[in-house]
Chain A
């Protein structure tokens, strides 16, 4: 049996084991669930070391990527400051001091640094992501296209601006809202949000069904085909 065939058959058995939960909670499902969690953690570690830590950090740092030809010439001599990767690497390793109560304060340095860097990035990211949306929300209520009113675009923009204002009014808690805000705008905002949640829920059903369809397709076509190959029908 080829490796690809064995993987396909194993994948089918795993899928069936996970789907067995639909019948009832059972030990096979539990076992495969734990295998899956273990595999995910293992894959994370292997991929991080293989695809990132080793080729992009350790190789240039220790000069393992330097090729020396028999005549002594060097191809790709690397960056002279590549050893400086050791500094963040050592700093990151301080995280593990949390396992030693006497030195656990060092881990807080790493956590504090991560928080600081994360906070700084988040502020920059917020402006880059949200400001274009704020400017894009200033839409004309009446859209003209070559001198005539584009009714559909105008309607879309009106719905957009109305929804935006109503939703903002609903979340207006700074001081007691007046009748106008509490009435049409506030409850309108709630209703419009409900419509939005409905759309989200519909999309969720669609996404979950798509996952099921893909698994069924795998079981009915690829897996069955592999099984038939194993038993010698194909």
Chain B
């Protein structure tokens, strides 16, 4: 029995078991270490801080273009950013150009608002007043271009995702064209979706500030846009979300520890394990080959 089990657990499966055990421990113990400083995330935080809250008819255009597959990274970023917007009472419109995001954009602001109202029972965040969900919109770049060119964004959308006429939604009071959009925040896990906004979300006279959150895999690509100034702030994967959460906690000390810090810590453990396995693999590879060569020579 033990022999057959040992035969079954080959090197590949041993690595899987090692990864499983190593990652499970910090998650179960909710172990969290302070995240590393991410300057690109700080830039984003500062840009949100700069958005004036006392100008009527101004909104933030929040595009959440990710699916459940990248909930850990993009979801944590979205939660942190929405929390920041809600805490600062910045009104925002949420939309998506990818299908899998449709259920997510409906639930995430609700969850964040519920969490905040639990924390501050005397305050209220309401759908239609503080945020509005415009749902999934087909057409990618073509649709984005039409939003940017529309004389009235509420008229362009006509209805929100819950079927309400935009004319009846208080958030849209005073909102007209793209010039009413103080910032575009786009969080994505899909290639090409940020590019669609960079290419088309502007008119001849006005281009809002672009802020972006990407998965770790897309960080090198997104940095190009940060370097060129096309985006003014960037959240890089879960590390960016964790640092953003830390900045929020510094500003709002009563804020509870969020999941992004725990996930970031677990990810750090995973990286250590990967490095360890690479070193061990090379060690076994080099010395194993030498030993077998020596045996063959003999």
Is there an interface contact between B220 and A196, defined as CB atoms closer than 8 Å? Answer: yes
A12 at interface, CB cutoff 8 A: no
In the bound complex, CA of A216 to CA of B99 (Å) = 25
Is there an interface contact between A76 and B167, defined as CB atoms closer than 8 Å? Answer: yes
Name the residue on A nearest B26 (C-beta).
A213
Is there an interface contact between B263 and A207, defined as CB atoms closer than 8 Å? Answer: no
Is there an interface contact between B271 and A125, defined as CB atoms closer than 8 Å? Answer: no
Chain A neighbourhood of B163, CB < 8 A: 55
Chain A neighbourhood of B70, CB < 8 A: 207, 210-211
In the bound complex, CA of A128 to CA of B138 (Å) = 21
Residue A117 contacts which of B100, B142, B161 (CB distance < 8 angstroms)?
A: B142
Write the A203-228 contact mask toward B (1 if CB under 8 angstroms, else 0).
Answer: 11111111111101100110000000
In the bound complex, CA of A56 to CA of B271 (Å) = 46
Chain B, range 4-32, C-beta contacts under 8 Å to A? 13, 16, 19-20, 23-24, 27-28
Is there an interface contact between A213 and B263, defined as CB atoms closer than 8 Å? Answer: yes
Is there an interface contact between A22 and B13, defined as CB atoms closer than 8 Å? Answer: yes
Number of A interface residues in the complex (CB < 8 A):
47
Instruction: Give the Cβ gap from A112 to chain B, nearest Cβ, in Å.
Output: 16
A59 at interface, CB cutoff 8 A: yes
Given the contacts A55-B158, A128-B200, A207 and B230 also touching, CB distance less than 8 Å: no
Most chain B beta-carbon neighbours within 10 Å: one of A23, A48, A55, A117: A55
Name the residue on B nearest A198 (C-beta).
B220
Chain B neighbourhood of A51, CB < 8 A: 102, 135-137, 161
Is there an interface contact between B165 and A76, defined as CB atoms closer than 8 Å? Answer: yes
Residue A128 contacts which of B137, B198, B218, B229 (CB distance < 8 angstroms)?
A: B198
Residue B263 contacts which of A126, A129, A203, A217 (CB distance < 8 angstroms)?
A: A217
B69 at interface, CB cutoff 8 A: yes
A60 at interface, CB cutoff 8 A: yes
Residue A207 contacts which of B28, B216, B271 (CB distance < 8 angstroms)?
A: B216
Interface of A is mostly: helix
Given the contacts A55-B163, A214-B71, A207 and B141 also touching, CB distance less than 8 Å: no
Is there an interface contact between A23 and B267, defined as CB atoms closer than 8 Å? Answer: no
Chain A, range 66-119, C-beta contacts under 8 Å to B? 76, 117
Is there an interface contact between A129 and B198, defined as CB atoms closer than 8 Å? Answer: yes
B130 at interface, CB cutoff 8 A: no
Name the residue on B nearest A213 (C-beta).
B266
Given the contacts A56-B159, A203-B216, A209 and B16 also touching, CB distance less than 8 Å: no
Is there an interface contact between A209 and B159, defined as CB atoms closer than 8 Å? Answer: no
Chain A neighbourhood of B267, CB < 8 A: 206, 209-210, 213
Chain A neighbourhood of B23, CB < 8 A: 209, 212-213, 216
Residue B27 contacts which of A47, A129, A207, A220 (CB distance < 8 angstroms)?
A: A220
Name the residue on B nearest A136 (C-beta).
B228
Instruction: Give the Cβ gap from A12 to chain B, nearest Cβ, in Å.
Output: 14
Is there an interface contact between A124 and B199, defined as CB atoms closer than 8 Å? Answer: yes
Is there an interface contact between A125 and B199, defined as CB atoms closer than 8 Å? Answer: yes
In the bound complex, CA of A196 to CA of B220 (Å) = 8
Complex A-B: 20 CB contacts under 8 Å: A48-B138, A76-B165, A121-B142, A125-B196, A125-B199, A128-B199, A129-B198, A132-B230, A133-B228, A203-B217, A203-B237, A204-B216, A204-B217, A206-B271, A210-B216, A213-B263, A213-B267, A214-B72, A214-B75, A220-B28
The 5 A-B residue pairs with the shortest CB-CB distance, nearest first, are A214-B72, A125-B199, A136-B228, A207-B217, A206-B216
Known: A203-B217, A207-B217, A221-B28. 6 other contacts (CB 8 A): A52-B137, A121-B199, A125-B199, A128-B198, A133-B228, A212-B270
Residues of chain B touching chain A, judged by Cβ–Cβ distance below 8 Å, are 13, 16, 19-20, 23-24, 27-28, 69-73, 75, 99-100, 102, 135-138, 141-142, 145, 157-159, 161, 163, 165, 167, 195-196, 198-200, 202, 215-220, 224-225, 227-230, 237-238, 259, 262-263, 266-267, 270-271, 274
